[in-house]
Amino acid sequence: MSASTTPPVRIAVDIGGTFTDLQIYDERTRSLVSLKTPTTPEDPSLGLLTGIKEAAAKGGFTLADVGYLLHGTTIATNAVLERKLARGALVTTARFEDVAEIGRHYRREVYALNPKAPPSLIPRDRRLGIKERTRSDGSIDIPVMAEALDALVAKLDALDVQAVAVCLINAYRNAENEQRIGEHLAKVRPRLAVSCSSALNGEIREFERTSTTILNALLMPVIDSYLGKLDRRMKEEGLKPHLFLVQSNGGVCSPEKAGQEPVRLLLSGPSGGSAACALLGKLLNEPNLVGVDMGGTSFDVSVVRDGKVNLVTQGEIDGLPVRLPMVEINTIGAGGGSIAKVRAGGRLTVGPESAGSRPGPACYGRGGTEPAVTDANIALARLDGEGFLGGGMRLDRDAATKAIATHVGGPLKLGVEAAAEGILAVTNASLGAAIRLSLFEKGLDPRDFVMVAFGGAAGLHAVAVADEVGIRRVVFPESASTLSAFGILHSNLTHDLVRSQLLQATSADLPQLAEMAKSLLAEGKARLDTDAVRPEDQVIELAADMRYKGQAFELTVTAPPPAKGKPPFDQTTLDALIEGFHALHEQRFSYANRGSPVEIVTLRASAIGKLAQPEPKTLQRFTQAPQPKTSRKIFLAGAWTDVPVWNRDDLGATPIIGPAVVEEAYTTVLLEAGWTCHRLATGHLIAERTA
């Protein structure tokens, strides 16, 4: 996409629950500025516009200078979690109305006497069957008749719904009946939000397809309302950028696509952090990274392997499956606000319950009385109570020690220091377990990875957690607290396309596979052309969901790019996919049955439109300050120790030796004994295990 006539300022925004993070790049000066501003939950667009205006004043540009606005948001996620969704109905093949509620026949809580019922977003009286039938080979056995459509509209009118999900059996093979229903509803009830499964996710497995389509339909009015408010506010302020929304796959899409397929925004914010880790990997020449994002409530783990962010074809939100490509992120309830409790039998736990920002940890002085992880850090003087949030907030250490003594130290008969160390030890063990799970389940060894620590709280725990899992190098990036926005700043347009048909990975089925690939490539190019992406900026990648015959799950294998002048899918491509599947299966499950027949269930295409990217930061030579700015006593390894405290901007290429503390506006790094740390020419800190 050409940037020659586009205004020079590019802004990435990540709207979180507490803060809205911005990264602003001005191509005229090649300057990169970070900014945090409070989120406005009642209308996130207010906080977004406030942040942009603050950035303009700080960066010396006007709103007319903004050419790109790349927007990550948790609006879709929060709407699902809080059940603030539109009133909707499901239209499906007659006698399949209960698929969405029956789900899969497995129990999450194997030993629970009264297991929780799976969530159902649409009650039985709003799940409507229509007379139709598409067979598994795609042939139409019973077409949708006009009288059935008229009866359907009458039922929907009586139910007074705002959104309709249309998901017919076998529509992934032939969308004709679904399309007829969708077109009829759009004609006679144009204000109704309608989502057809074949347009959103044309894949096999009707339960997951139905769940995804229902979520999409119920989110359409929510996201449409927000985008309408945002558009009006931008026009009022004279802001006319190219607006793109961040998707769960790490790419961005137009507001029009976001309005039609809002379910793709469910991991909008966290995916930016994963993208940033991949960018850092290229910059540092480190292909294998594990990114850890620790904020106030959660700890998110994402993996970059061989330079690529790990994507999955199915995720989940609040027990509801979402069958769409998304960045694989494992999340646990462990952050700075996670509350420590002593359970029956003297068992100390930390999280998942969080104090949030209101009232927050006890040290916030906002009425919180239960000890949180931040209270433990301030009680042990690992945090500077006067300089928290760049000096914008003072932490009450006395309140923290009182809460720890009352709720942890007293019940366990421990002093405040020992109790606080116990809280941090339990927290770090949980963080380490989350990293091990993210790597071990893929057959990966933590010792082969470099950790990237970002988010407001990660710097205090990263080195200890690295010791916990055997990682010997940790990267503390510049502007760690807004790193997700940094990843968003470098995003590209991305469309995910699929074709499902169970075929054998043999020469006999090669013609059908080649035809499916040709169709995917044509559709991908058409979508990028619609987005006005120049041909030289278009990239389309193919992949296949594969399995051994008899298996009930698949692995996604990326197809090699075709040789120049060769067809996009030929025998060479098929052979490479088969070998790639065997290798991936062996790495993931420790064995490969190379003599067993292999099936291809789904072909995938990622159509990528490259946006103009910020130029890399000019490398600098940093002159290191001869001495730390100060020192203070910190409780480490069971004793109070006098530790040097450095300002991040005072570090250079000469390593400092732990124990030490490195402070910046929104983040503090704790370097423990046995570790060294130095600053790269790019501004990032590298900590290394030396002992």
Q: Is residue 174 part of a domain?
A: yes
Which residue's entry shows tokens 């000890």?
Answer: 371
Kindly state whether residues 108 and 197 are assigned to the same domain. yes
Residue 38's pLDDT band, with cuts at 50, 70 and 90, is confident
The average confidence (pLDDT) of the chain is: 91
Alpha carbon 103 to chain centroid, angstroms: 25
> 195-234: per-residue pLDDT in tens?
999 999 889 999 999 999 999 999 999 999 999 999 999 9
Q: What is the mean pLDDT of residues 185-198?
A: 96
Kindly state whether residues 403 and 502 are assigned to the same domain. no
Q: What is the mean pLDDT of residues 256-274?
A: 91
CATH of the domain at 534: 3.30.1490
Q: Which of 91, 80, 72, 77 is nearest to 15 (CA)?
A: 72
Q: Is residue 626 part of a domain?
A: no
Kindly state whether residues 408 and 498 are assigned to the same domain. no
pLDDT at 496 over 90: yes
According to DSSP, the β-strands at 242-246 and 193-196 are: unpaired
d(CA 247, CA 258): 8
Kindly state whether residues 529 and 402 are assigned to the same domain. no
Q: Which of 520, 512, 518 is nearest to 202 (CA)?
A: 520
Q: Is residue 65 part of a domain?
A: no
> 535-590: per-residue pLDDT in tens?
999 999 999 999 999 998 999 999 998 878 788 899 999 999 999 999 999 988 98
* pLDDT score, position 229: 92
Q: Which residue, of 401, 421, 441, is where some domain finishes?
A: 421
d(CA 363, CA 416): 14
* pLDDT score, position 188: 97
Range of lowest pLDDT (137-141, 328-332, 347-351, 617-621): 617-621
Kindly state whether residues 103 and 207 are assigned to the same domain. yes
> 120-137: per-residue pLDDT in tens?
899 999 999 999 999 999
Q: What is the mean pLDDT of residues 83-102?
A: 94
Kindly state whether residues 98 and 215 are assigned to the same domain. yes
* pLDDT score, position 270: 81
Q: What is the mean pLDDT of residues 18-28?
A: 85
pLDDT at 356 over 80: no
* pLDDT score, position 190: 95
d(CA 623, CA 620): 10
* pLDDT score, position 420: 97
Q: What is the mean pLDDT of residues 491-518?
A: 95
pLDDT at 619 over 80: no
pLDDT at 485 over 80: yes
Domain region containing 99: 81-224
Share of the chain above pLDDT 90, in %: 68
According to DSSP, the β-strands at 299-305 and 289-294 are: antiparallel
Residue 18's pLDDT band, with cuts at 50, 70 and 90, is low
Share of the chain above pLDDT 70, in %: 98
* pLDDT score, position 2: 47
d(CA 595, CA 583): 13
Kindly state whether residues 377 and 499 are assigned to the same domain. no
Q: Is residue 332 part of a domain?
A: no
* pLDDT score, position 1: 47
Q: Is residue 116 part of a domain?
A: yes
- Angstrom CA distances, 94 to 87, 97, 98, 198, 234, stand at 21, 7, 10, 18, 46
Kindly state whether residues 401 and 513 are assigned to the same domain. no
Q: Which residue, of 421, 449, 482, is where some domain finishes?
A: 421
Q: What is the mean pLDDT of residues 341-354?
A: 89
- Angstrom CA distances, 51 to 45, 55, 390, 653, stand at 10, 6, 17, 34
Q: Is residue 146 part of a domain?
A: yes
Q: What's the distance, Cα to Cα, between the start and end of the chain in Å?
A: 49
Q: Concatenated DSSP letters for 467-512?
A: HHHT--EEEE-TTGGGHHHHHHHT--EEEEEEEEEEEESSGGGHHH
Q: Which of 613, 606, 614, 611 is nearest to 537 (CA)?
A: 611
Q: Is 687 left (phi over 0), alpha (psi -120 to 50) or beta?
A: beta
Q: Model's pTM, two decimal places? A: 0.86
Q: Is residue 484 part of a domain?
A: no
Residue 332's pLDDT band, with cuts at 50, 70 and 90, is confident
Mapped onto helix, strand or coil, the DSSP state of residue 98 is coil
Q: For residue 475, give every residue at least 6 positions away whose Cβ sits within 8 Å of its Cβ, in sequence order, or none.
A: 280, 284, 286, 289, 450, 451, 452, 453, 684, 685, 686, 687
Q: Which residue, of 156, 189, 224, is where some domain finishes?
A: 224
Number of domains in the chain: 3
Identify the top-confidence range among 101-105, 391-395, 425-429.
425-429
User: Is the four-CA dihedral 643, 649, 653, 654 of positive or negative sign?
Assistant: negative
Q: Is residue 230 part of a domain?
A: no
